[in-house]
């Protein structure tokens, strides 16, 4: 705080940090990733609700885009109409600035069309924009009472609340899910499907491999399990 240089490689500091790790431990207990079976259950649950189609398509496209692009919640709710471009292959989304992009260089994410249209982020977003008639500004907006669409952007907390609400309606225990579950879910599912760390990082925007390797490790915990070689 006083502006002094801190040498984190200094032997005394390293020794102290190692001592803290020995006492406290360094394992991170993250929130549960949202996997494919969860995602499908959420979308099916939204489709079953007795509410207006406009709300269904907003909620579906929010969750599917969040998952499909491995978005942080703040990035997801920050998307404006000017940031998206539909192309023959799918959808391009420009992220103007993110948590790890302090200089605002931005990045572009590409979401291809899915074979199954029910769970396709691109198709659902197209339908949402068509129904909502949004032509500029935030694409994910709040409703006022009576389901009138406002021009106000959804908050990042809205993403968590919506996800938890639909998990609950689908009969899934939702305590250990959070907004980050969409992002970690994408990385885990991509890793399970054989995507390499570079491809995953290109979508999530991770700057280092540490976190992505953790997702890959957890995704392969049963696939590459030594116990599979043991015959009982």
Q: Is residue 96 part of a domain?
A: yes
Q: Is residue 113 part of a domain?
A: yes
Q: Encode burial over 157-178: b for 16+ CB neighbours within 10 A, e otherwise.
A: ebbbebbbebbeebebebeebb
The residues annotated as belonging to the active site are 72, 99, 180, 183, 206, 215
Q: Is residue 117 part of a domain?
A: yes
User: For each of the chain's 232 residues, which pLDDT tens digit applies?
Assistant: 777 887 878 888 888 878 877 776 655 556 788 889 999 999 999 999 999 999 999 999 999 999 999 999 999 999 999 999 999 999 999 998 655 555 556 789 999 999 999 999 999 999 999 999 999 999 999 999 888 999 999 998 999 899 899 999 988 888 888 878 888 888 888 888 888 888 888 888 887 788 788 878 877 777 777 778 887 8
For residue 113, the tally of other CB atoms under 10 A from its CB is 14
Q: Is residue 45 part of a domain?
A: yes
CATH code where residue 74 lies: 1.10.443.10
* Structural domain count, the chain: 1
Q: Is residue 100 part of a domain?
A: yes
Kind and range of the H or E run holding 125: helix 121-132
How does strand 148-153 pair with strand 141-144?
A: antiparallel
- The half-sphere exposure of 15 on its side-chain side, counting CA atoms within 13 A, is 3
The pLDDT of residue 216 is 80
Q: Is residue 225 part of a domain?
A: no
Strand partners, 111: 91
Which two three-digit tokens encode residue 188? 């885990």
Distances, alpha carbon 185 to alpha carbons 11, 31, 33, 172, 197, in Å: 38, 10, 4, 15, 14
pTM of the model: 0.78
Q: Is residue 141 part of a domain?
A: yes
Q: Is residue 102 part of a domain?
A: yes
| Domain containing residue 142 | 36-219
- The half-sphere exposure of 180 on its side-chain side, counting CA atoms within 13 A, is 7
């Amino acid at each position: 705080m006083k502006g002094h240089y801190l040498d984190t490689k200094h032997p005394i500091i390293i020794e102290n940090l190692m001592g803290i790790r020995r006492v406290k431990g360094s394992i991170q207990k993250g929130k549960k990733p949202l996997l494919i079976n969860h995602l499908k259950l959420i979308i099916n649950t939204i489709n079953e609700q007795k509410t207006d189609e406009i709300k269904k398509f907003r909620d579906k496209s929010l969750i599917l885009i969040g998952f499909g692009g491995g978005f942080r919640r703040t990035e997801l709710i920050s998307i404006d109409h000017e940031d998206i471009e539909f192309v023959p292959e799918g959808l391009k989304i420009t992220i103007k600035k993110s948590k790890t992009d302090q200089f605002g260089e931005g990045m572009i994410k590409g979401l291809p069309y899915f074979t199954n249209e029910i769970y396709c982020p691109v198709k659902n977003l197209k339908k949402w924009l068509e129904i909502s008639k949004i032509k500029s500004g935030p694409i994910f907006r709040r409703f006022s009472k009576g389901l009138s669409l406002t021009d106000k952007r959804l908050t990042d907390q809205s993403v968590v609340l919506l996800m938890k609400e639909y998990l609950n309606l689908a009969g899934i225990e939702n305590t250990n899910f959070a907004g980050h579950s969409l992002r970690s879910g994408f990385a885990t599912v991509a890793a399970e499907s054989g995507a390499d760390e570079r491809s995953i990082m290109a979508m999530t925007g991770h700057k280092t491999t540490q976190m992505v390797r953790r997702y890959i490790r957890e995704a392969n915990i049963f696939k590459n399990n030594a116990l599979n070689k043991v015959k009982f």
